[in-house]
Amino acid sequence: MIEMQEVWKTYSDGTPVLQNINVRIEKNEFVYIVGPSGAGKSTFMKLMYREERPTKGQIFVNNFNIGKLKQRKIPILRRNIGVIFQDYRLLSKLTVQENVAFAMEVIEASQRSIKKRVPEVLELVGLRDKINSFPSQLSGGEQQRVAIARAIVNNPSVIIADEPTGNLDPETSWEIMKILDEIHDRGATIIMATHNREIVNTLRKRVIAIENGRIVRDTHRGEYGYED
């Protein structure tokens, strides 16, 4: 469960990024975050995994109070959160297998569990045959699949995806959405920022629209609702 109560985020010069955000996202929801560039979507999502701290208000993620969370507890919070970035952020000198295994090594998983789990998630994202390839040998879609595998390998309860199809062609974007839908069907809560009108309007989910740092629309099975 994720809840924000009267959350504000301002820059050091006093410029507001988010203003009086109140929202609750239940377990196993799939939520699109939409809105114009610069609206505050990325900051909204960064607050959930403590990349940013709220200036005012309270945020609860899986029973953690984000604003009061001590630095040493952040890794514990993030064990149950998988983050997918638009630019993949893979480690260029590691193979596909090593990139995914790294996420398990960080939480000190056993080598036995790593050897079992990594092939399973690579099978799920359709990359079992690329296990020994390096990121530079993969297409953009394949790199994003590795990023998804890395995000889900520790069985997180929450997946935060910031424009996961932003750099991909339409066909590959739909393949990525199919994977995310399957992860959702397996029980994960997914929060996805996107500018992709076709995806939002076709795969109807809850839509939270942010403009000028405020939530202006929160609709179940909503539409994209913006002119690009």
Position 150 in a domain: yes
Position 49 in a domain: no
Position 207 in a domain: yes
pLDDT at 228 over 60: no
Q: How far apart are CA 175 and CA 170, in angstroms?
A: 9
pLDDT at 5 over 60: yes
pLDDT at position 11, please?
A: 87
Position 214 in a domain: yes
Question: pLDDT band for position 210 (50/70/90)?
Answer: very high
Position 21 in a domain: no
Position 79 in a domain: yes
pLDDT at position 227, please?
A: 66
**What is each CA distance from 171 to 131, 167, 178, in whole angstroms?**
23, 12, 11
- How many domains does one find in the chain? 1
Q: Which residues form the domain of 105?
A: 27-38+71-219
Position 52 in a domain: no
Contacts for 13 with CB less than 8 Å, ≥ 6 apart: none
Mean pLDDT of all residues belonging to the chain: 95
The average pLDDT across 151-179 equals 95
CATH number of residue 119's parent domain? 3.40.50.300
Position 2 in a domain: no
Count how many Cα atoms sit within 13 Å of the Cα of residue 161 in the half-sphere of its side chain. 31
Angle between helices 140-152 and 96-106 (to 10 degrees): 20
